[in-house]
Every structure is written in structure tokens, then in C-alpha cells.
């Protein structure tokens, strides 16, 4: 006899779809959406027993977790909310879940503001930053510098294939920051005009390696050669605690349609859509070694990449379990 699967609210499924398709993007936005989805699951649960309620919540967390393998803010958000749950009755569990999610979301919102203030201290009046992809943490540093009365300009890589750099350029222009938008392959040419490379992170490993949008590593190598410091802006929600116990970070492979349309694929393959001789690789992220990073800026201060493991141990302990697993 097959046991019934725990009921998962439709809003959880919708949130999972939006994260998977990148309708919801950015680590902070993903973490916030996941916490909100768990709170909604708790609100709408019709579980008759505490055990059934916990099963439903774990099932919802698993569905969210499986959407983006490298977006570490997602499992960190789920861990935070689930570990804050306590109570002996369904009502108590419901109340504590909603409260835990609300606390997480409030802390997340304040974390980015604090991070921005820390990062802004590294930016001088008149500095030019070069950005890659779209990071709200990186932009928080620029915004805080502007609020402090500093003049900042930006060289923005468009970041193919999804061109997230266009989002960055749009936000910076809303703040009246002068922007030079460049194609990715022109980065080395324009590094001499930059005072900082300022990027975000999808996740950060215990050894200080930075997992971020594909192209970050090459930019960091070129920046080091040119003597341009690389600053990574990342909330502590992006620290990857599993890497303390030897786990490696999986690099997400995106769909080939982001690189080639069906029509263009057929053109290149001579009209044969099943051509085994044409492969399209579309990794979403790469790994930047700590030796190419000058500072990791968080809401708890700035750290040399080699010492980030100390902060990780302080926040997560030596090991972590997965509260959504049965």
C-alpha cells in the first residue's frame, strides 16, 4: 500500500517553479521567497496532527530545495525557518513557523543594509567599479556610498547569456550613476579604468572560494594581473556550511536554449536537430579561488577569504544536518 504524499500548498509549488526558471533570482530574493512560502504552507495547512504538520512542512522544504542546487541561500533559509519551529500542537507549530519565517525575513532585509555600509567604506569618492552579473548585495555597497555623498561610476559587464548586467545598469541609472555598459569580452580592456571589481556571490565555500556567475573567475584573474582589487559582497546567508565537511559545490548547468534558439541550432547543425556532433554547454557558475579575492564583505564585517571558515563555524557549528530530510 502506497502512503499518501504530504499536501504541499500551491503557492509553494509556484514559488519553486519561479526559482527554477529564475523568475525569482538573486540569493536574497530566493531566500526571502522560500521563507515566505514556508510561512504560507504553515498558514494553509489542514494537518490534523503535529506529525502530519511537520511532514507537510518538510515536503514543502524539499520541493523548494530541489530547484537550484548552487543557490545556497535557499537551503540556509530553509534551515533557519525549520530549526526555529517548536510546539506540541498544530496551532503552536503553525505560530512558531510563521514567526521563524518573519524573523528570518527581517534579519535578511537588515543584513543587506549593514553589508552595504561595510562595503561602502572600501569605496572612495570618485571610484569606478566594474560589475559582473546582477547582485543586490554589490549594489547595496554602491547605494550606501552614494548615500554617504560619494561619487561613484560603473563599468557594467552585460553578462551573457541572460544579460543580467542590463538589470544592474538600469538600477544604477535610476540612482543617476554614470554607467558604461560593455560586452563581456571587453572586460580586460576596461579594467585599467576601474578602481575595484565589485561582484556578489551565489555561495562561498569554507576555503574562501567564491561560486558566482560564470565569468567571475576569469574577471578576477584579469583584475589581479592589472592590480585591481576584487571585492565580493555576500550576506552570510550565502556561506556554504556543507563545504566544512568535505562536500563540493555542484555547478548548475542551464538549458541550451539560453545559448541557442531551436532555429539557430538547426542552422549550425545543417538542419539536423539531432546532430550528435554539436553540443551546447551552459554552466551557470564558476569558482574563483581565494587567492584572486581581496575581501569578502558581509553584514558582520569584511574578511580575507582564507578566514571566512571562522565565521562559518561561528554561525553554523562544525556540521549541519538537513531538517527537511525524514
Question: What confidence tens digit (pLDDT) does each residue in 96-127 have?
Answer: 999 999 999 999 989 999 999 999 999 999 99
Overall average pLDDT of the 247-276 stretch: 82
CB atoms near residue 141 (< 10 Å) = 28
Helix (H) or strand (E) segment spanning residue 157: strand 153-157
More confident: 44 or 319: 44
Rounded distance, CA 84 to CA 197, Å?
37
Q: Scanning the structure block, which residue is given the C-alpha cell 580592456?
A: 189
Report the pLDDT value the prediction gives residue 38, as an integer from 0 to 100.
97
Question: Domains of the chain (ranges plus CATH)?
Answer: 10-113 (1.20.120.420), 117-251+282-323 (3.40.50.10470)
The widest CA-to-CA distance across the chain, in whole angstroms, is 69
- Name the DSSP class of 112: H
Residue 276 banded pLDDT, cuts 50, 70, 90: confident
Average pLDDT (25-52) is 93
CA neighbours within 13 Å on the CB side: how many for 216?
32
Q: What percent of the chain has pLDDT over 70?
A: 95
Q: Where are the alpha helices (DSSP H) in the chain?
A: 10-20, 27-44, 50-65, 73-83, 90-120, 136-147, 165-174, 187-190, 216-226, 262-268, 308-316
Query: HSE on the CB side for 173, CA within 13 Å?
Result: 11
Question: What's the DSSP call for residue 123?
Answer: P
- Output the pLDDT for position 274: 67
Binding residues for substrate: 25-28, 68, 212-213, 238
Q: What sign for the dihedral angle of Cα 317, 319, 211, 18?
A: negative
Instruction: Indicate the average pLDDT of the chain.
Output: 92
Q: What is the pTM of this model?
A: 0.80
Give the pLDDT confidence of 60-102 residue by residue, as tens digits: 999 999 988 667 889 899 988 998 999 999 999 999 999 999 9
Predicted confidence band of residue 315 (pLDDT cuts 50, 70, 90): confident
CB atoms within 10 A of CB 286: 17
**Sheet bearing 295-298, strands edge to edge:** 179-182, 153-157, 128-131, 196-199, 230-233, 295-298, 301-303
Cβ–Cβ < 8 Å for 293, 210: yes
**151, pLDDT greater than 90:** yes
Least confident of 151-165, 198-212, 275-289, 295-309: 275-289
Contact 28/72 with Cβ under 8 angstroms? no
Q: How confident is the model at residue 265 (pLDDT cuts 50, 70, 90)?
A: confident
pLDDT above 60 for 252: yes
Q: Average pLDDT of 145-152?
A: 98
pLDDT of res. 320: 56
pLDDT, residue 1, reads 34
pLDDT of 156-214, one tens digit each? 999 999 999 999 999 999 999 999 999 999 999 999 999 999 999 989 999 999 999 99
Catalytic residues, by residue number, are 133, 202
With H, G, I as helix, E, B as strand and everything else as coil, classify residue 315: helix
3-state secondary structure of 9: coil
Amino acid at each position: 500500500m502506497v502512503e499518501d504524499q504530504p499536501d504541499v500548498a500551491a503557492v509553494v509549488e509556484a514559488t519553486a517553479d519561479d526559482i527554477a526558471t529564475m523568475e525569482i533570482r538573486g540569493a536574497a530574493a530566493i531566500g526571502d521567497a522560500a521563507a515566505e512560502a514556508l510561512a504560507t504552507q504553515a498558514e494553509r495547512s489542514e494537518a490534523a496532527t503535529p506529525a502530519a504538520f511537520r511532514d507537510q512542512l518538510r515536503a514543502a522544504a524539499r520541493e523548494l530545495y530541489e530547484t537550484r542546487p548552487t543557490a545556497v541561500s535557499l537551503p540556509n533559509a530553509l534551515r533557519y525557518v525549520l530549526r526555529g519551529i517548536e510546539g506540541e500542537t498544530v496551532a503552536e507549530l503553525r505560530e512558531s513557523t510563521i514567526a521563524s519565517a518573519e524573523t528570518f525575513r527581517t534579519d535578511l532585509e537588515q543584513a543587506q543594509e549593514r553589508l552595504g555600509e561595510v562595503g561602502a567604506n572600501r569605496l572612495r569618492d570618485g571610484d569606478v567599479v566594474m560589475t559582473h552579473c546582477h547582485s543586490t548585495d554589490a549594489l547595496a555597497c554602491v547605494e550606501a556610498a552614494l548615500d554617504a555623498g560619494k561619487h561613484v561610476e560603473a563599468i557594467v559587464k552585460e553578462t551573457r547569456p541572460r544579460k543580467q548586467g542590463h538589470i544592474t545598469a538600469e538600477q544604477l541609472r535610476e540612482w543617476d550613476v554614470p554607467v558604461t555598459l560593455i560586452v563581456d569580452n571587453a572586460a580586460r580592456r576596461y579594467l585599467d579604468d576601474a578602481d575595484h571589481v565589485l561582484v556578489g556571490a551565489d555561495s562561498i565555500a569554507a576555503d574562501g572560494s567564491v561560486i558566482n556567475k560564470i565569468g567571475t573567475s576569469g574577471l578576477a584573474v584579469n583584475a589581479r594581473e592589472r592590480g585591481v582589487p576584487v571585492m565580493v559582497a555576500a550576506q552570510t546567508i550565502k556561506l556554504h556550511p556543507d563545504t566544512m565537511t568535505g562536500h563540493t559545490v555542484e555547478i548548475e548547468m542551464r538549458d541550451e536554449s539560453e545559448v541557442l534558439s531551436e532555429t539557430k541550432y538547426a542552422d549550425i547543425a545543417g538542419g539536423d536537430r539531432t546532430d550528435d556532433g554539436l553540443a551546447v554547454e551552459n554552466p551557470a557558475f564558476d569558482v574563483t579561488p581565494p587567492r584572486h579575492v581581496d575581501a569578502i564583505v558581509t553584514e558582520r564585517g569584511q574578511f580575507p577569504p582564507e578566514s571566512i571558515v571562522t565565521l562559518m563555524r561561528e554561525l553554523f557549528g562544525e556540521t549541519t544536518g538537513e531538517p527537511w530530510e525524514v
